[in-house]
Amino acid sequence: MGTFSKVFINIDNIEIVKKIIGKYYKIVNEEIDTDEQGWRFWENGSDTIILSKNYNKNWVEIVLNYEFTLYFHDELLRRLSKELQTKILLGYYQSTCGDGRLAKFQNGELLLSIIQSEVKYGEESMMRLMDNWGVTDKIKQEFSIPEKTREKFFEIGGDTIYQFFGMHGLKWDTKEGENEEYLHLEIRYE
């Protein structure tokens, strides 16, 4: 499968989101396409951030690169949620290594962060809960989250991410493949 990485902002205006991203990351180019291409600007030594509204007219979708760390864009997401006074949902799953994350930002605060990652513990290596910030009893029960970090945990995947999005009010309202358009931003971190 590879990587499933989606961030959704509860706002209906891509241009506003792009403008705020431009305050924190240098946007050197932008291109619109009907295909999502996360690698589009790598030959230029740049990163790509993709914006769209293909799945819900009231939410802007952002595709971010989490090559370095699952926390890499947290400060950007926190600031976006604060400046827009809205909520942001993040779902990430890398099937080749099993790393996964569910997170919710709202009005400038990180309200929830659940991370699973493979960790060597003694002589064994297994998927473990590595972050459980803001986990409520409801979330704990819904996603079978253990009491403590570093306990065995391998629950985050594509279905779990969609379930998490649905719990927080994100539902699809368009048909996949119908008039899809992706705004690719070429980003330089300076």
Tokens 């970090």, residue located: 149
Give dist(CA 178, CA 168) in Å, integer: 25
Count of Cβ atoms closer than 10 Å to residue 102 Cβ: 28
Least confident range of 32-36, 135-139, 182-186: 32-36
15 pLDDT tier (thresholds 50, 70, 90): very high
Residue 90: the pLDDT is 96
60 pLDDT tier (thresholds 50, 70, 90): very high
CB 33 within 8 A of CB 184: yes
